Amino acid sequence: MARPGKRFIFGSRLPRPLRIAGFAVLALLVLPYLIVPFYAFGKPASTVMLWRQLSGGRVPRSYVPLSRISPALALAVIVAEDGRFCTHHGVDFAEIRDALADADDLGDVRGGSTITQQVAKNLFLWQGRSWLRKALEFPLALWIDLVLSKRRILEIYLNIAEWGPNGEFGVEAGSRYAFGKPARELSHYQAALLAAVLPNPMARNAHAPGPGLRWLAGLYVGRSARAPGEAACIRTPSLGGRHPL
């Protein structure tokens, strides 16, 4: 005969609606991990893009592979957004430690997400700051880095990020909006301007950059020239390292 303690723990049953709700939440938590391996191929779309389309909004986007994107842009985005992209495993714990050390308390913590974290957020989660979203984002970013190559992660990021004030999703749409040319033809300075737009494309405009944006672009051009190796993990091995992508 079962002991009373076990009867209490395992014999009790939750109401059916709560069980269904619990299974639904569990499925939503697990589903992204099952989907990620399929994103080694195809043309993923972000939750923001899908919501915009469902709302009848404009989503001018043309997915392009990394081989058709200017190497200058790939490097500029890495130095601007995630300088240790090639060396961390999805989450930059050194950056997190620095942010915690600089903060007076947990409410003051400010730390930029890695490119992989932004991919996790854009593909599966929601925008805005919250500890819940971060708690979901961290393990998902680690999984994405484990399952997908660095080249593929950066390619997805460049194609789902928002690059302009009118719903220009993906670097091809952003490049054509800002400079009237495809992403593969961007100069170093134009690439740096686009990289500087990324944190806030609604307020920063590479088509008509202000002094602050131009200053940032110059900073990223300098960083790119000093640290070309920061994009080493996305180079094509067959080219012997002669070409970044």
What local confidence, expressed as pLDDT, does residue 19 receive? 72
Among candidates 70, 235, 88, 64, which has minimal Cα distance to 151? 235
Residues 165-183 pLDDT 10s: 888 899 999 999 999 999 9
What local confidence, expressed as pLDDT, does residue 102 receive? 57
Residues 213-232 pLDDT 10s: 999 999 999 999 999 899 99
Sign of CA dihedral 52, 177, 230, 93: negative
Paired tokens of 44:
């993923």
Contact indicator for 170, 61 with CB cutoff of 8 Å:
yes
Asked if pLDDT for residue 6 goes beyond 80, the answer is: no
Q: What is the DSSP string of 1-15?
A: ---HHHHHHHS----
Paired tokens of 167:
């719903």
Cα end-to-end span (Å), the chain: 67
Contact indicator for 225, 76 with CB cutoff of 8 Å:
no
Give the confidence band of 242 by pLDDT, cuts at 50, 70, 90.
very low
Can you list the alpha helix ranges (DSSP code H) found in 65-147?
71-81, 93-102, 115-124, 131-147
Q: What is the DSSP string of 41-90?
A: SS----HHHHHHHHTT---------GGGS-HHHHHHHHHHH-TTTTTSSS
**Across-strand partners of 162?**
169
* Domains of the chain and CATH, by start: 45-239 (1.10.3810.10)
